Amino acid sequence: MGSKTLMWALNQLEQLNIVAMASIIESDGSVPAKVGAKMAFSSSGARHGTVGGAGLEVKIEGRLSAMLNGSPGGIETFVLSRSSNDPDTTNLNSLCGGRVTVAFEKFEPCPHILLMGGGHVAKAISEACDLLGWHHSVFDERENFTSPEMFPNASERIHSEADEFLSVETPSSLSRFSDILLLGHDWAIDQKLLIGLLSHIEELPFRLGCIGSKTKWREFTKSARNEGISDERLNGVRCPIGSPIGAVTVEEIAFSVCSEIISMTRTRS
């Protein structure tokens, strides 16, 4: 049962959901579940596993829900007895008489960044992702800019026209990415992708950013407004991307972009 819950949790993390998990690490006497039993909650609202039911499970459910809302994890010992004189344990007012120790852990998914444009900046960001243990994928209309030689560790290498990408992908399928970054070599492709994403997806399941100057962004917003995209939607896009550290080289830009994503992820959490 515990291994199945672990596999379920890994699947939830791959879908970019936060997971709170409880694992029984010690047990003594008559208890509803033994060492190794696990129960997990996901920020998607799903849950998996059991720690045996009854009052113990109710207590653990409450703590897992609280963890998804920001409460810390830790280790807690429960005594299944009507009375307990131990101030370091939680009394469950039960007749079982046993004792269980439970470890509470919260797991956050690794970012999965879609690099839309496989140029020098995308290459540097992909290498930074490798160092951080993040996932990255790459899109480009040019086949040689999505090659395994350029992006050996990419989860996906998407070679297609921008229009084809927009016609195939859906809000559900795009939710596999935590961030989509428009890094194209051609401003017209970036603009087409920007307008396409904002036009066809009512609620973006990812963070959207665009590399470029404030002048470039003014031109993009003008074109987007002409296509009926509201300022509210445009204000949700980051341009220029990256933390304001005065980055100049592609490596520095990659560092600033990843720093910004770390900051947003921690703030969300």
Q: What is the pLDDT of residues 97-141, one digit of tens each?
A: 678 899 999 998 999 999 999 999 999 999 999 999 999 999 999
Domain(s) labelled CATH 3.40.50.720 in the chain stretch across: 112-268
Q: What is the mean pLDDT of the chain?
A: 90
Helix (H, G, I), strand (E, B) or coil at 260: helix
d(CA 255, CA 259): 6
Residues 3-55 have pLDDT tens digits of 899 999 999 998 889 999 999 999 887 777 788 999 999 999 999 999 887 77
Report pLDDT for 204.
85
Please say if the pLDDT value at position 1 is more than 70.
no
CATH 3.90.1150.170: does it fit domain 112-268? no
- 35 and 77 Cβ atoms separated by less than 8 Å: no
- 165 and 177 Cβ atoms separated by less than 8 Å: no
Report pLDDT for 262.
94
Report pLDDT for 267.
75
Task: Report the candidate in 34, 3, 261, 235 with the shortest Cα–Cα distance to residue 132.
Answer: 261
Backbone angles phi, psi at 12, to 5 degrees: -65, -40
What is the band of 200 on the pLDDT scale with cuts at 50, 70, 90? confident
Report pLDDT for 137.
98
Report pLDDT for 93.
62
Residues 129-177 have pLDDT tens digits of 999 999 999 999 999 999 999 999 999 999 999 999 999 999 889 999 9
Would you say the pTM of this structure is higher than 0.85?
A: no
